[in-house]
A and B are shown apart, each in its own frame.
Chain A
Amino acid sequence: MNLFNIIDEIENVDPEFQDRISPRRAAIKNITSFGSKVAVAALPFAFSTLFKKAYGQTSGTAVNDVLNFALTLEYLEAEYYATGVSTAGLIPAGAGATALAQIAKDEANHVAFLKSVLGSAAVSKPTFDFTAKNTFPDVFSNYQTFLKVALAFEDTGVRAYKGQAGNLKGNKVVLTAALNIHSVEARHASHLRQMVAANVSGASALKPWIAYTANGNDTGIAAVNPVYAGEQNTTQANVNVTGFMGASGNISQSAAAEAFDEPLTKDAVLAIAGLFIV
């Protein structure tokens, strides 16, 4: 067991690991003397204590659970776009095809990134049925359907990562990486909303953000209601946002709902993703 190698490795992914272990960098710099004073047999224990101290309440198992949950969603998205962009005749050439290729690449990168972080703890890819048991039978033959389902995936992804943030609290490496994926999903969702508005019949009013509707679902696609459940919320931290002064008069109900995206619980996300998993 080479402690110094391990610390070097950790520092590769977490440059501030030493500070994390001890606010006084000197303490860890003196690890040689620390080691010499502690019986070799006690080292693993001492080291795991250092880890717990470094990463606070987020135990390795809890972090891996979040990462594997994220990986499952990224598998879903990555395979969906990979299939879409390689299906002849589905996506018209032009800006849309370029954008979808970009999104496909980002999602494939997310899968590779999460797998590299999880290593042997990574879950394997499920088998997907993107028709969701025939709910979307033409998902890979009708461009409009393809965009609608893509948007549902992106808006779900945004909510899923948000819902897990609390489980990664204080974890500089993993929480920051998760947030850096979360905002990319939101960028995708914003662009896909514009694509849906431009290409899907009856959806021209769709905004890049989730507008207020009574049930939260502003897409007009009833089959994806669970993806948007709760997005109509206008109360944050027990304060009704419509009570604030806006540019003229109070903040509108729509602006209040749009200004805050809502999280989804892991169970709610798995229920949605489960529709597409065989």
Chain B
Amino acid sequence: MENLTKAEEIVSHDNSDFLTANVQRRSFIKYAGAATAAVALIAAGCKKSHDGNNGAEAYLGRGDTGILNYAYALEQLEAAFYTQAVASFGGDSSWTVAEKALITDIRDHEIAHREFFKTALGTNAIGSLEVNFDSINFNSKANVLATAKAFEDLGVSAYNGAGYLIENGDYLTLAGKIVSVEARHAAYIRDLISNGSFAGADVVNPTTGLDTSRSPQEVLGIAGAYIKTKINANDLPS
């Protein structure tokens, strides 16, 4: 029933097509008893809203497309964050010239990653996500660095945890090309906060020397606090 409610929400948000929405809603209820039929219908209903202009949800998709969209979503988040951080350097006089230069580099790397995924995905790319940075004080260097650390470590764990889900070897290598740059960012940001914490025990297991990996569900659960657009990751491979 949870799915049904979700589907109803999606449909009812589709104001432009209100009449059809009501018909669809009745269909859902009518078939709700037959589990498989209901699931099929819900899937069909969702599909419709993804393809439409309803901006309520970003559907990542299946297979490698799903994983690339997942990466694209995270890169959108990072690029948006650093764009605002760089634009807010004036809000905190303690940024040094060197720090500003390197964080501007990071912004440009994240934009390059974002644009790369957008191009690689072509028509399969999700739209632009609406971010929610209300909890971040961009005029505080400490707050910006703490958020940057969270995003970079999250990004590293996301790529590490999704690698095995990638079917195409070229995409896997590309993810590898990006994740090590994210790890370089993470180490730099961590060192700015506390020199020597580049591979701290909170991210690198002190017994095995292994970094952290997280599943897409875990990552999106954390990243979701900063993303207004609802992300539908239901069909990601696992």
Contacts and interface: CB of A to CB of B under 8 A. Distances in A.
Given A179-B163, A184-B204, A247 B210 contact: no
Contacts of B161: 176
Contacts, number: 199
Given A162-B180, A246-B111, A191 B209 contact: no
Nearest to B160: A179
Q: Contact size class for B? A: 35 or more
Nearest to A185: B180
Contacts of A170: 164, 167
A113 B111 contact: no
27 contacts: A95-B196, A106-B204, A162-B180, A166-B173, A170-B167, A177-B210, A179-B159, A181-B210, A182-B183, A183-B156, A183-B211, A184-B209, A186-B180, A187-B198, A189-B184, A208-B102, A208-B185, A209-B105, A237-B174, A244-B112, A245-B115, A247-B111, A256-B112, A258-B105, A258-B181, A259-B112, A259-B113
Q: Contact size class for A? A: 35 or more
Given A179-B179, A188-B198, 15 more contacts: A107-B209, A162-B177, A176-B213, A180-B210, A181-B210, A183-B179, A186-B181, A187-B199, A208-B185, A209-B181, A241-B116, A247-B83, A255-B105, A255-B112, A258-B108
Contacts of A209: 105, 109, 181, 184-185
A170 B166 CA distance: 7
A110 interface: yes
| Consensus secondary structure, chain A interface | helix
Most buried by B among A106, A184, A189, A191: A184
Given A95-B196, A107-B209, A247-B111, A183 B173 contact: no
Contacts of B137: none
Interface string A116-156: 00000000000000000000000000000000000000000
